[in-house]
Amino acid sequence: MRAQFILSEIGIGLRRNLSMTISVVLVTFVCLTFLGAAALLQAQIDKMKDDWYDKVEVSVFLCPANSAAPTCAAGEVSEAQRDDIVSALEAPEVDRYVQEIYPESKEQAYEAFQRQFGDQFWASAATAEDMNASLRIKLTDPEQYQVVADVVSGRPGVESVEDQRRLFDNLFLVLDRATWAAGGLAAIMLLAAVLLITTTIRLSAMSRRRETGIMRLVGASTLFIQLPFMLEGAIAATLGAALAIGGLWVGVEYLVTDWLGQSVTWIPYVGTSDVLAIAPLLVVVAFVLAAISSLVTLSRYTKV
């Protein structure tokens, strides 16, 4: 009987404030979509880092014949200088950071250059002699780049040392900032959702002050009186969370997996499983929104 009464009160409240309830659902949907997008964007960054950083190499470019670098004052790198560089990389204190060393000759560098830029008109002017011989170093931990770089930088025969990871750091920086921007918008929308849910609950409570007063006079508990209002907010917020989860699932399935996944195949993308992984978080946030709004409103507007 009590459950039936509470359900009927919820139905009455939702019907009386239908437009406000729809507004709560939509605002919750938008803010949780931004929050979910921020979480998915961070998951995308983590996937890219895990995949790309494992493939990153440190490139030690050896001196060509006509380099202006101080370490190349003696001219093109000699075999003795090359052996000294390799020996430094194989020293016990450095070797644990080095997984493999791949020597690349000028001819191999030229072939790689032609594969990458051969369709450009200016690439035809380059020759093998214009290329740098190099040592490609695969690290056991890409985060330890600086340790390896410090060992070989400044040695005779080394023109420069480059870490491929730096090529990606700017991209990850932009993506990180996009994550923060999405999170900031989500925070603003969350505040708007709290205010709107609070307003909806307040209007519902004010419209039923007479019924609330009668319930109080016949001995109804505070929880029994407040529960319908709390459930109204929770239902509206949960519907918004469900719409957000559905929207994110559709976006990832059709925009990311079907479109981007087929257009750009070398990037590891987030999938619908990632959406399902963050779905409980969005539902919890929806309940927290409703709980905060209820606590702010009901203690004042259900008093008789």
Using DSSP bridges, classify how beta strands 134-139 and 57-62 pair: parallel, antiparallel or unpaired: antiparallel
Instruction: Label residue 154 left, alpha or beta by phi (over 0 means left) and psi (-120 to 50 means alpha).
Output: left
Query: In the structure encoding, which two tokens stand for residue 128, read together?
Result: 């093998």
Q: What is the pLDDT of residue 66?
A: 82
**Buried b / exposed e along 87-99 (16+ C-beta atoms within 10 A):** eebeeeebeebbe
Token code pair at residue 277 = 């992984």
Query: Mind listing the domains of the chain with CATH numbers?
Result: 2-52+169-301 (no CATH), 57-163 (3.30.70.3040)
> In this structure, what token pair is assigned to residue 31?
């803010």
Confidence at residue 244, expressed as pLDDT on a 0 to 100 scale: 92
Per-residue model confidence (pLDDT) at position 299: 58
pLDDT score of 298: 56
| Tens place of pLDDT per residue across the chain (304 aa) | 455 544 555 555 556 566 667 777 888 888 888 888 888 888 888 887 776 666 677 888 888 888 888 888 888 888 888 889 888 888 888 888 888 888 888 888 888 778 777 667 666 777 777 788 888 888 887 777 788 888 888 888 888 888 766 666 777 777 778 778 877 877 887 777 777 777 766 766 565 566 555 555 555 555 555 566 667 777 878 888 999 999 999 999 888 888 887 877 777 888 889 999 999 999 998 888 777 776 666 555 444 4
Kindly report, residue by residue over 129-188, the tens digit of the pLDDT: 778 888 888 888 777 778 888 888 888 888 888 876 666 677 777 777 877 887 787 788
| Residue 297: predicted pLDDT | 66
- The answer to whether 193 touches 31, Cβ cutoff 8 Å, is yes
Residue 243 is predicted with a pLDDT of 93
**What are 51's two structure tokens?**
């995949």
Could you read off the pLDDT of 131-141 as tens digits, one per residue? Answer: 888 888 888 87
Task: Give the residue among 55, 56, 69 at the shortest CA–CA distance from 132.
Answer: 69
Instruction: Give the C-alpha separation, 213 to 215, whole Å.
Output: 5
Task: With 0.75 as the threshold, say if the pTM is over it.
Answer: no
